[in-house]
Amino acid sequence: MKRILIIEDEKSLVRFIQLELEHEHFFVRVAYDGVSGLQLALNEEWDMILLDIMLPHLDGIEVCRRLRSAKATPVIMITARDRLEDRVQGLDIGADDYIAKPFDIEELLARMRAIFRRIDLQDHQDREVLTFRNITVDIAARIVTRGGISVELTKREFDLLVVLIKHPKLVQTRDMLLDLVWGYDSLVETNVVDVYIRYLRNKLDVPGEESIIQTVRGMGYVMRP
Ligand code: CA
């Protein structure tokens, strides 16, 4: 269950947003002023904070600024004043989005979903692990395993494997692979690709089984599932 903190002093609006969010199965807590809101924002973990700008004790801009010096919790700023400078200021200090009162609850939910999607995508890219048959490649950690056992690859071997495994079914010519792995202005001969494909096969193929990398005669190489 995602946890949402609402920092807003307009009680009827808070009640309305809270009921709608709870209906969407969010866990919701509310702070009615900037000081207690900031405290909750800092002391507990939230999936999102809905932050009004005009607040007693400490305004939303200041809450966001102080929060950002410590945490990256997603923030949607809420304000009655649909003024460009509020919006620019809010986004400048690190708010993720902005919504002007009065707003439709569907619009708020759509904006929240968009931010959650962006975060999920980011997390996913950070932890991208590609698999092909019994091979896994953890791109960020630069770890390759075969049947669960880690395999040592050189930088070139790793880069070559990533290019191939990222585009299964796509036949890559030696020239394409040379450009992608060794660089456009590289002076190496295209047959270096063949040499490195052989290294990869030696390290990753299961003896007696078909190679993970297929040669397409006269064209290049492909990892075909
Ligand atoms: Ca307010």
User: Ligand 1 center to residue 79 CA distance, Å?
Assistant: 7
* pLDDT over threshold 90, residue 38: yes
pLDDT (0 to 100) of residue 111: 94
User: Ligand 1 center to residue 4 CA distance, Å?
Assistant: 18
User: Ligand 1 center to residue 10 CA distance, Å?
Assistant: 6
User: Ligand 1 center to residue 7 CA distance, Å?
Assistant: 9
Percent of the chain with pLDDT over 90: 62
- Burial zone of 131 (CB within 10 Å; 0-12 exposed, 13-18 middle, 19+ buried): exposed
User: Ligand 1 center to residue 55 CA distance, Å?
Assistant: 5
- Burial zone of 160 (CB within 10 Å; 0-12 exposed, 13-18 middle, 19+ buried): buried
Mean pLDDT across the chain: 90
- Amino acid, res. 142: R
Asked if 147 contacts 132 with a C-beta cutoff of 8 angstroms, the reply is no
Asked if 68 contacts 51 with a C-beta cutoff of 8 angstroms, the reply is no
Block residue for tokens 């990256």? 72
Kindly report, residue by residue over 54-105, the tens digit of the pLDDT. Answer: 999 999 999 999 999 888 899 999 987 666 677 677 777 889 998 988 899 9
Kindly report, residue by residue over 154-184, the tens digit of the pLDDT. Answer: 989 999 999 999 888 889 999 889 888 887 6
User: Ligand 1 center to residue 119 CA distance, Å?
Assistant: 28
Would you give the distance in Å from CA 168 to the centre of its chain?
Answer: 23
pLDDT (0 to 100) of residue 7: 98
pLDDT (0 to 100) of residue 29: 98
Block residue for tokens 């010096």? 69
Go through the domains of the chain in sequence order and give each one's CATH number.
3-123 (3.40.50.2300), 129-222 (1.10.10.10)
User: Ligand 1 center to residue 70 CA distance, Å?
Assistant: 24
User: Ligand 1 center to residue 115 CA distance, Å?
Assistant: 23
User: Ligand 1 center to residue 43 CA distance, Å?
Assistant: 22
> What pTM was estimated for this model as a whole?
0.59
Nearest to 4 by CA among 62, 44, 60: 44
